[in-house]
Amino acid sequence: MKKVGIIMGSDSDLPVVRKAIDTLASFDVPYEVHIYSAHRTPVQAQSFTASARENGFGVLICAAGMAAHLAGAVAANTTLPVIGIPMSSSNLGGMEALLSTVQMPSGIPVATVAIGGAVNAALLAMEMLAISDEALAEKLAAKRASDTAAVLAKNAAVEAEFNK
């Protein structure tokens, strides 16, 4: 199976990024985790990205905050699909990272999830890999069904309590 590459701009992003890592691990999907910054370590970010396809990656997840150029800079150097996670900040709450990540110029796409949307980033990455992996597609469908059942159980409990 192709690997998911997870890149974050700083170790301060790890508490949120860990949710993506844990989600991938729960599906036994192979991944690598790196800290590369579009601004602080641009050469390393470019080098990793340029060789990502030949190194067995199928999709890249990039998490960055503030002037969040990481996902866009990575996408500029590969035709692998790139998923951006805008990270929250103390000053602007992540809106700056959201806009920096999502507002890509035509020709260089970044699939942007919600601010801090690490679980969805992992799920979306796996949905991309599952296009050509039927076993993974079945695992994703099973998780969706189990999530639906959990919500319906909560609904049943609320209805039983309030709808006399």
Which residues bind to ligand RP5, rule: CB under 6 A?
A: 9-10, 12-13, 37, 64-66, 87
State in angstroms the smallest separation of the CB of 123 from ligand RP5: 21
Q: Which residues of 124-133 are buried (b: 16+ CB within 10 A; e: fewer)?
A: bbbebbbeeb
Distance CA 74, CA 69 (A): 8
State in angstroms the smallest separation of the CB of 76 from ligand RP5: 17
State in angstroms the smallest separation of the CB of 140 from ligand RP5: 28
State in angstroms the smallest separation of the CB of 19 from ligand RP5: 15
State which residue, 75 or 87, has the beta carbon closest to ligand RP5: 87
State which residue, 29 or 98, has the beta carbon closest to ligand RP5: 98
Distance CA 17, CA 85 (A): 9
Q: How far is CA 51 from CA 12, 57, 62, 76, 155, in A?
A: 26, 9, 16, 13, 48
* Mutual angle of helices 134-162 and 118-129, in 10-degree steps: 140
State which residue, 58 or 86, has the beta carbon closest to ligand RP5: 86
State which residue, 58 or 84, has the beta carbon closest to ligand RP5: 84
